[in-house]
Amino acid sequence: MYRVNDAYVGGQRISNVFNEQNEVRHAQRVKPIKNLYNMSRLVEKEPHIRQTLSLLVSKLERFSGSETCPMDRFIAFFAWDVIDQLTFGSKRGFLAEEQDIGNQIAASKSSLYYFAPICQIPWVDSLLDKNPIMRIGPKPLQVSILRAQEAVEKRRAPSGPEKATIHDQMPPCFLDNFCEDEKVDNFQVVDWLLPNVLAGSDTTTWTLCEIMYCLAKNPESQRRLIAELDEAHLELPAHYEHVKDLPYLNAVLSEALRYVPGIPFNLERKVPAQGFNLDSDTFLPAGTVVGINPGVTGWNQEIFGDDADQWNANRWLQQPNETEADWKARRSKMDKTVDFSFGGGSRKCLGSELSRLIILLTIATVYSRYHFALEDTKSRWQIHNAWFMYMKEMKMNISSR
């Protein structure tokens, strides 16, 4: 399935950090940047997130107590701007202009609408996007690669405007980090940038929209979150140090990742050379393609309880009459199951902690200021699974608190 996400240049397929299937080459490509995605390093970039959050709040303020807000659009604009800010040190202006600049969001969605079905029948890709005579399809990586190439060239220009100002005002962005070693060529820097550009915005958009929809559909859950935030007396925009241990806020995020994960698709893997005993009666030979859909495992009643098909952030908290040992054991099973949706081992998603940081700060900030309700309380979400999850027509009423 992963080769569908190759770039196609001059008749040659070129893999990227995300879809490199050779374990040795993947490790070599990821090793120089892996530590940058640990939370201890990510918090250094918080000012980029808080700056973009301030812009989001200024936009939401316009809707407070007045017109209905197309929340799905504004969350998408925010997610794309904040990933650009973190990655390149500047925004494209989605929030400022309140529109899809250069159709980048639409192009990303179009590429996933292509990737989702074609990755299940990958030979068809050779007839469509990778057709050597005439390419047919959305050219999945073209917009993202061009954006990354342009940013790298500007950053490395001898007297480019980026070098003169970026370090004076904000902490280093990922592009700064990746360009520190001048021996690293532009091609490698673009390769490192692609995971952020390709996957960071859409998945963050989904999880934020899912949380806001589910809190609106479950008013008691929203009230409990707001009460916890009010008691914390947060400085806004929120800081990770102040929200990382808030139990209900973190429970809300964990429940969202469980309830409808951002990638409810099998992350395919191949059985290694020695094969694998699935159980006492089933042996999987080497090379067998296997996968587990987190959209299914997240609803496993043996792990998450009889109400696994319902939103219930309380499941992540210690229950009345539950010993701490029992709760920790139960919580450990749930955490391991949900974490597996990001992949495992050396192939775990690089950006999982980055997404967590953005979401915690965003939810803490906006719910400390506002109450959100669906325009039509009886409406049901309009969602589409295209490998990433997408939501549309989430119209909300916003009231200041």
pLDDT at 121: 93
pLDDT, tens digit, 9 for 90 and up, residues 229-277: 999 999 999 999 999 999 999 999 999 999 999 999 888 899 999 999 9
DSSP-derived secondary structure for 91-127: ---HHHHTS-GGGHHHHHHHHHHHHHHHTTSGGGGGT
Range of lowest pLDDT (54-68, 131-145, 356-370): 131-145
Q: Is the per-residue pLDDT at 384 higher than 80?
A: yes
Q: What sign for the dihedral angle of Cα 50, 51, 54, 60?
A: negative
Binding-site residue numbers are 349
Higher pLDDT, 95 or 279: 95
DSSP codes, 247-274: HHHHHHHHHHHHHS-S--S---EE--TT
* Cα separation values, 130 from 141, 176, 267, Å: 12, 33, 22
Question: What integer pLDDT is reported at residue 226 of this predicted model?
Answer: 98
Half-sphere exposure of 13 (CA within 13 A, CB side): 13
Cis preceding-peptide flag for 117 (omega within 30 of 0)? no
- Mean per-residue pLDDT of the chain: 92
Decide: 297 and 337 in contact? Cβ < 8 Å.
yes
The C-alpha atoms of residue 352 and residue 350 are separated, in whole angstroms, by: 6
263-to-15, 259, 353 alpha-carbon distances in Å: 20, 11, 16
Q: What is the pLDDT of residues 188-244, one digit of tens each?
A: 999 999 889 888 899 999 999 999 999 999 999 999 999 999 999 999 999 999 999
Estimate the crossing angle of helix 219-232 against helix 247-259, to 10 degrees.
140
* Residue 361 in this model has a pLDDT that exceeds 80: yes
Instruction: Say what the pLDDT of residue 160 is.
Output: 56
Place of tokens 């915005």: 201
Q: Does 168 score more than 80 pLDDT?
A: no
Q: Would you state the structure tokens that stand for residue 162, as one six-digit string?
A: 């980026």
pLDDT for 345 equals: 80
DSSP three-state, residue 384: strand
Whether the per-residue pLDDT at 77 is higher than 90: the answer is yes
The pair of three-digit structure tokens given for residue 280, joined into one six-digit string = 């006492």
Determine the average pLDDT of the residues in 295-323: 97
Residue 164 has pLDDT above 50, yes or no: no
Please give the DSSP secondary-structure letter assigned to residue 90. S
Higher pLDDT, 161 or 74: 74
> From 3.40.190.10, 1.10.630.10, 1.10.3720.10, 2.40.128.90, which CATH number describes the 2-400 domain?
1.10.630.10
| Percent of the chain with pLDDT strictly greater than 90 | 72
What is residue 76's predicted lDDT score, i.e. its pLDDT? 97
* Tens-place pLDDT, residues 18-68: 888 888 988 999 999 999 999 999 999 999 999 999 999 999 999 998 899
Percentage of the chain exceeding pLDDT 70: 97
| Every domain of the chain and the residues it spans | 2-400
pTM above 0.85, yes or no: yes
Task: Specify binding-site residues for heme.
Answer: 349
Q: Could you tell me which residues come within 8 angstroms of residue 259 by beta carbon, excluding any fewer than 6 positions away?
A: 210, 214, 298, 311
pLDDT in tens, 88-110: 999 999 999 999 998 889 989 99
Q: What is the pLDDT of residue 248?
A: 99
Residue 162's alpha-carbon distances to 156, 197, 388, in angstroms, are 9, 19, 32
Cα–Cα dist 86/90, whole Å: 8
Buried b (16+ CB within 10 A) or exposed e, 292-304: eebbebbeeeebb
